[in-house]
Every structure is written in C-alpha cells, then in structure tokens.
Structure 1
Amino acid sequence: MKIDITFLGTASCYPTPHRSVSCTAVRFEDGSVWLFDCGEGSQIQLQKSSVKPGRVSKIFITHLHGDHVFGLPGLVCTLGTAWQGKADADALLEVFGPKGLRSYLRRSLALSRSLLPFHYTVHELVPVPEQFPADWGAWPVDHEAAGPTHPQERLGRDIPVAREDDRCTWHLFSDGCAGVRAGMIHHTIPSFGFAVELASQPGQLDAGRLRELGLPPGPLYGALKRGEEVTLPGGLVIRPSEVVGPPKRGLKATILGDTSDPSPMEHLARGSDVLLHEATMRDGERDKALEFGHSTPAMAAGFADRAGARRLVLYHFSQRYRPAGPGTDPQETVAVLLEEARAALPRGSVCEVSAAEDLLEMTVS
C-alpha cells in the first residue's frame, strides 16, 4: 500500500521564478489523482510533472485565498482537453471546498463561456462561526448567489459540520477504499485541513497452515481473506481468525491549508503517516506569522509531535526563503526553516522532517 505525493507549488502569496503557489497532487496505486489546492499556474506545473492530467478525478480546496484557488478555472478547462474522448460519458470531476467555491467556479466558467467535455460538481463545506474572523462582516460578500448552473454542472452537496463534544468534523466521502474528512484550522478566513485515509487491508494469509489443513491454493483463499468461513469436503470448518493475520492499518495523509493554529483538527491528524504543514516564516517572525494567520517551523513541528505524525513535510514558504544556490544568503533559504523545525521536536522524537520543493515527488508507504 502506498501513495505518491507531488508538490506542484510550495510558495505562499504569489508565484516567483523559483516556486509556484499552492498545489499538491496525491496519486494512488490505481493511477487516480487528487489535487489539493490550485493556485495560479497549477496547470503549467502539472504539465511539468509526471502526473497525468487525465487521471485527476477530485480537487480539494482548503480556503479561498487567491494563492490557493486562482488556478482552478483554468485547470478545469485544461482537464477538459485531457478528458476528451473518455469512454464514460458520465465522467464527473468532483471539487470540494469552503462555502463560496461553487459561486467562484460557476461564475468564472460562465463569464468566459467555457464549455467542458465532462460534468463537474462542487461540494461546499459549511463553515462554523468559530472560523470567521472578527472583521468578517466588514466586507460583505454573498457566498450563496452563484447564479444559474453551468451547462456541465451537477449540483453538489452542502456538507455540514458534525460536532462531537468540542470537535468539528466534516465528512466528505468514503467509498470503501479511501475516505476524506475535513477539520477546522484557524486562519484569516475559513480554512480547512483534509485527512485522507486508505482503508485497512486484510492480514496475510497463512498458506502453509492451509495446506496442512488440506486446502490447496485457489478461490477459497480469497473467501477467507474476505472474512468468510470455508467448509472442506470432510466437514472441517476453517475460520478466517485461524489462518489470517491481523489487518494492516491503512495509510493516512493529512494536508493542511494556511493556519496559525491547526489544533481543532488534531483528532483527525492523529497517527498520520505524513503531515503537510505550512511554515511561511521562520521562528523569529512568529508574531508577524500569527498576525497574518500563518505558522513557523517550530509551530508545525509542535503540532506534528502532538498528533504523532510519522513524517512532517514543510511547505508554503514566504518568498524570502529561496532554494540554496550561488549568491543566496544562507539565512534566507528553506534549509533554515527545516533546521528550526527539527530543533523544535522533543529529544527522542521519531518524526522525520523534510521541506518540499516544487516538483518534488515523494512516496509514502
């Protein structure tokens, strides 16, 4: 069991000659691809990568700041080219994101008169009052007024919060192979993190024991792995618990949007095999980071430790922090952010920390 993660954009705020803005691709073993955020230029980055645009089936938007969503209309049109000629006439692109995303995408496609060779739908996460900043009403925007549906649009769901004690969870979907839940994280506008969980797999079959019992390899092995009892011709009943090992826990990848405090979704991130967390500014700029709703490397490391993440990947870097190279001040490179995160982990921590770069590919297994 594995997933491949490709970082298409790792910059904050706006693209630079060195980095594009937020977009991350997650590729599954069946070849399908999900995108997380879609900043300006994402379609160009996608074409530079090994990710096949025609395999993108779902897009998740953490929040509606431009560096996470301005590339979405153009990318959807590009996917239209990649999806041309698909045998399935009912092919559907699913987009998930905060309230207002449906209006944004619908109006962008309608005003540009962009027709698509496939259907799309936007499922909106309904924020809770705790996600809105104090000055939210100073800039009135109607997030409901989306206008008439686009010709290729199928009306999506409004996904309400499910509250349990003081925890908020948005259940996006589960298809038996993978599921996605979203959690609240604090930023200057409603922002979400997504926990992607692959289903557990059956344990290993003890083929040697089965041969001892008189059951040769064949279709009945599959039945035992599915949890079904098998009866041999002589009447012996073989129960799965006798010949199948414990199930293997599915992988979990948690991908956070911009945040100065992701603690409200710690329950969803707990036990992540990989955690993607922003580290916009270095620790010495913590006050400035908090002012703009962002995190520092030590803040990211602290959350990863509390959540018990196996691997922490930093991304969403300020333009100040460039890749190391000739003429670059060593104190203004991503390496500084990486070292601060590592130093912040408690002694004995087994969490592995790395920093993303554009077009970096990573396998999590």
Structure 2
Amino acid sequence: MHGDHVFGLPGMLLTFLSLLETTSKVSGPPGFPSAETGDPIKSRTLRVYGPVGLYNYICMTLMLCEAKVGVNAQDGRPVIVVHELVGGEPGWSPRDRRAAFRKRDADFAMPGVESRSLSPEADGFWTIPPFEKDADGEGAHGGGAGFLLPPPQRRRQDFVVRAGMVKHTVPTFAYTVQEHDKPGTMDVAAVRARG
C-alpha cells in the first residue's frame, strides 16, 4: 500500500462514523427507516476491502490518533470491518515474503474494528458480497439501515463489484462494477413484420 493509496482512508472513516452518529439521532428522509434511537451508530457497520496489511494500518492509525470507534450499541458488533483480500498470485511483491503484514497480535487490535479475510474465486478474482449479505450471511450494515442507502428491500442488485490484482510495486487492486445483463425492450416480432 503506497501512501497515496491509503493516507486519506482514516480521515474518511472517521468522517463516515461522525455522519453515522449524527444521522442516527434524527429521522431519515422519506423511504428510509427512522433512526431516532439515541444510540450512536446503531446497527451500522462500515466495510473496507483491500490488501493484506490494511487492518493493521487502520487500527494503528486510529489508535495513534486516539480515535473513539467503539462497538455497535445494539448488539456489540464491530463498527468497522476490514476485509483483507487474501490469496492471489504468489510472489506478487516483497510484501508476500514479510509475515509482519499478516501478523495479528494485541498491539494491532482495536475495539470496534474487526478483520476478515476474503479469498479469490476460481477465476482469480475477488467478488465483494452484495449490500444485503456479507460472507457470513449477516446484514452488511448490521441488519439496520445502510449508510445513506435505501433499506435493503428497496435496493437494486443489478450489479456486482469485483476486484483483481494490478501489477504495481506494492499489492494493489482494481475494482470493477459489473452490471448484470438486462433483457432488451425491442419487439423482435414487430421489427420482422416491418421487414
């Protein structure tokens, strides 16, 4: 991870957490469930996807700036889940030979931040789970309202997000948003009838 890839991430995460805390105390816009609970960040989880080492980077940065992340007030779930994309082509970068990036010890742990691994599929690409479900089958936003998204039953799932490795001096992923094929609206019979 080069600095230009990750230096903005901790500030962005803290901004999102601040927005979640603010929006959890007011009613949502029309079509969104009310979040008037008084519990900050109730039932919401931010998910981050990236290379091995991202969890350690996020935890250490948030700890060093003494950020207050905490856990979900409703059910104790983490507020941030870091999904590290594991596997891929061996020998991709010097990082593959350094176990420190994969190390998990108490010095890297932070309450409210959890690490999970996501393996590539048979084609060598990673598929990011859809909004409603994560790899464990649980709601991607802790079962509650998504961050600035309509409730799950009103979201369209006509796309999939995939990641693939990019040749670079450090582990780097490119992400694509692939729309599902949509049936055409042309009336073939009418076109053929007109010649």
| TM category, shorter | 0.5 to 0.7
Q: Answer whether contact 2:49 2:83 (CA < 8 A) is retained.
A: yes
How far apart in 2 are the matches of 1:200 and 1:66? 37
Contact 1:97–1:123 (CA under 8 A) maintained in structure 2:
yes
Secondary structure, counterpart of 1:180 in structure 2: strand
Distance 1:171 1:82, change over 3 A: same
Q: CA deviation at 1:90?
A: 0.9
Instruction: Give per-residue Cα distances to partners, 1:119-142, cap 9 Å, x unaligned.
Output: 1110000143445236964xx460
5 Å-filtered alignment, 1:257-336, equals: none
Cα distance, 1:94 vs. partner? 0.8
Q: 8 Å contact 1:103–1:147 — kept in the other structure?
A: no
Native 8 Å contact 1:172 1:180 kept in 2? yes
1:92 and 2:45 equivalent?
A: yes
Any stretches of 5+ residues in structure 1 without a counterpart? 1-63, 207-241, 243-365
Letter in 2 for 1:162: E
Where do 1:122-161 residues align within 5 Å?
122-130=82-90, 132-133=92-93, 137=97, 140=98, 142-148=100-106, 149-153=109-113, 155-161=114-120
What is the DSSP-based 3-state SS (H/G/I as helix, E as strand, rest coil) of the residue aligned with 2:58?
A: helix
**Partner in structure 1 of residue 18 of structure 2:** 81
Q: Which residue matches 1:40?
A: none
The match for 2:66 among 109, 113, 116 is 113
Count of residues in correspondence between the two structures: 140
The gaps in structure 2 that reach 5 residues or longer are 25-34, 36-40, 73-78, 132-156, 190-195
Q: Which amino acid aligns with 1:187?
A: H
Question: Paired residue for 1:173?
Answer: 129
- For 2:151, the equivalent position in structure 1 comes to none
TM-score normalised over the length of structure 2: 0.59
* 2:173 is the counterpart of 1:192: yes
Contact 1:94/1:122 (8 A) holds in 2 = yes
- Using the aligned pairs only, state the percent identity: 30
Aligned equivalents of 1:92, 1:134: Cα separation in 2:
32
Cα distance in 2 for partners of 1:127, 1:144 equals 12
Larger relative contact order (CA 8 Å, sep ≥ 6): 2
Work out whether residues 115 and 151 of structure 1, in 8 Å CA contact, stay in contact via their aligned partners in 2.
no
Letter in 2 for 1:188: T
Report the 3-state secondary structure (helix = DSSP H, G, I; strand = E; otherwise coil) of the residue aligned with 2:100. Answer: coil
Partner of 1:4: none
Would you say 1:162 and 2:162 are equivalent positions? no
TM-score after normalising by structure 1: 0.34
Contact 1:125 1:170 (C-alpha < 8 Å) held by counterparts: yes
Aligned structure 1 segments of 4 or more residues deviating by more than 6 angstroms: none
Gap change, CA 1:197 and 1:177, over 3 Å in 2: same
Equivalent position SS for 2:80? strand
Q: Distance in 2 between matches of 1:170 and 1:113?
A: 33
| Alpha-carbon offset, residue 156 of structure 1 | 4.1
Q: What is the RMSD computed on CA atoms of the aligned residues?
A: 3.1
Contact 2:53/2:84 (<8 A) preserved: yes
Which has the larger Rg? Answer: 1
Return the alpha-carbon distance in structure 2 between the equivalents of residues 122 and 203 of structure 1. Answer: 39
